[in-house]
């Protein structure tokens, strides 16, 4: 199998929730409950957009190495009868699992404010409410309100913000 085959043909399985656990190599050990609540709300509303990734152990259980926050949110939703099984990209190679854990979490960057303003403005223009925008992006309504207050800025001001020529501070 080549590196490109791994990209094209991931081993994604529907794994029963009771066979999953949070792996010790998952880098996010401390997570705010409010973040998990917002993520659960988003998954409930829009479904699970990104699969989890895990390492299969000899006993058949799968330790989640990437997607720990989503896993916590899914466990919360299981109490509502959702997610008896979960799609998980699986490896049996501990080194590959460690790479997944590190790369998935360290490559995540926050969305720049200029992009948030443009996205939120577009959703509002399509008729989405403040609450719907907040749910879609996993942000508080106060955060959305602050960004939408800047939605009337001219395009050159948004471009300057994006280029780092001006800040929100």
Residues 117, 59 share a domain: no
Q: Last residue of some domain: 90, 106, 122? A: 106
CA dihedral 157, 117, 66, 89 (to 10 degrees): -110
What contacts 159, CB < 8 A, 6 or more positions away? 114
Residues 118, 84 share a domain: no
Q: Last residue of some domain: 86, 106, 126? A: 106
Residues 136, 89 share a domain: no
The total number of structural domains in the chain stands at: 2
* Domain span including residue 81: 3-106
- Tokens 């223009």, located at residue: 125
Residues 69, 27 share a domain: yes
Q: Last residue of some domain: 57, 83, 106? A: 106
What contacts 111, CB < 8 A, 6 or more positions away? 119
**Beta strands of the chain (E only): which ranges?**
12-16, 20-22, 52-56, 62-66, 85-91
Query: 93 φ, ψ to 5°?
Result: -100, 110
Q: What is the pLDDT along the chain (169 residues), one digit of tens a residue?
A: 455 454 545 579 999 999 999 999 887 777 889 999 999 999 999 999 999 999 999 999 999 999 999 999 999 999 999 999 999 999 999 989 988 887 776 666 677 899 889 989 998 998 989 998 888 777 899 999 999 999 999 999 999 999 999 999 8
């Amino acid at each position: 199998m080549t590196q490109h085959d791994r990209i094209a043909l991931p081993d994604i399985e529907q794994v029963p929730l009771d066979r999953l656990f949070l792996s010790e190599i998952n880098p996010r050990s401390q997570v705010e409950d409010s973040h998990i609540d917002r993520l659960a709300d988003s998954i409930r509303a829009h479904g699970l957009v990104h699969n989890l990734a895990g390492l299969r152990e000899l006993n058949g259980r799968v330790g989640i190495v990437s997607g720990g926050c989503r896993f916590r949110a899914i466990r919360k939703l299981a109490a509502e009868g959702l997610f008896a099984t979960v799609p998980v990209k699986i490896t049996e190679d501990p080194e590959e699992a460690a790479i997944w854990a590190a790369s998935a979490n360290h490559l995540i960057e926050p969305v720049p404010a200029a992009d948030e303003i443009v996205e939120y403005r577009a959703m509002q223009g399509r008729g989405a409410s403040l609450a719907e925008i907040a749910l879609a992006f996993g942000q508080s309504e106060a955060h959305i309100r602050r960004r939408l207050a800047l939605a009337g800025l001219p395009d050159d001001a948004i471009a300057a913000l994006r280029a780092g020529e001006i800040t929100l501070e």
